[in-house]
Amino acid sequence: MGRFCGERAETAEGFFARLQGALPPSAASEPIPPGLRSAGVLVPLRCGAGGVNVVLARRTERVPHHKGQVCFPGGSREAADRDLLATALREAKEELGIRPEDVSLLGAMEPVPTVTGFCIQPFVARIPADARFLLDEFEMSEVFEAPLSIFTDFSRYRTAETTFLGIPYKVYFLDYGPHVIWGATARILHRLAELALRMPPRGAAI
């Protein structure tokens, strides 16, 4: 866990600067696969006592999609949203009370198509260590944090194979405390962990 801005590793600013340098600054303008709905999610990161934490939430059983699942704040693009980043910021405020002015965008990840009919555009962002959450009680049952280092331990993941959009598709699962994290959320975390481990070392040109 130390390499992700722990006490004996680089500063938080150094880690987040390297992560920002490794991520595209904006989403690619590619058409989404036919039949899928555009969605945007925020992947909030912040520093805790032991290193970089990932902020996650769990949906209630009342929502129409992804009932009870661990997720990132986000949802379908609405007509008034300027782009998918606007979607992610709007949903993060509505669902978890994350204020747009508290969000420091680090960059965009590649879209994730889902078997539930969405094409999710993740945006990785840093939020303040002292940010407080205000949950939408209809949509979110809880918010919690997990160390980024948990997700870079690839031995924690289980996989299931399926076919989606005519090609083989791997579904990831992993356990964290009482939570089973799976589907698009686990895929985004796996990709983020891969990126974090591939980043150039401190002092290297990016």
192 within domain boundaries: yes
- Identify whether 176 is part of a domain: no
Query: Using one digit for the tens of pLDDT, what is the confidence trace for 120-155?
Result: 999 999 999 999 999 999 999 999 999 999 999 999
Domain that holds residue 20: 12-154+184-198
d(CA 22, CA 194): 11
pLDDT at position 204 is 44
68 part of a folded domain: yes
Residue 110 counted as domain residue: yes
**Domain count along the chain:** 1
In a domain, 54, yes or no: yes
pLDDT below 70 — which residues of the chain? 1-10, 200-206
Here the CATH number for the domain that contains residue 38 is 3.90.79.10
Note whether residue 7 is domain-resident: no
Contact 67, 60 (CB under 8 A): yes
pLDDT at 201: 64
Is 205 inside any structural domain? no
Indicate the pTM of the whole model: 0.90
Within-domain flag for 21 = yes
User: Which runs of E-coded beta strand occur in 48-149?
Assistant: 52-59, 70-71, 74-76, 104-108, 112-113, 118-126, 140-147
Alpha carbon distance 99, 26 (integer Å): 20
Q: What is residue 206's predicted lDDT score, i.e. its pLDDT?
A: 32
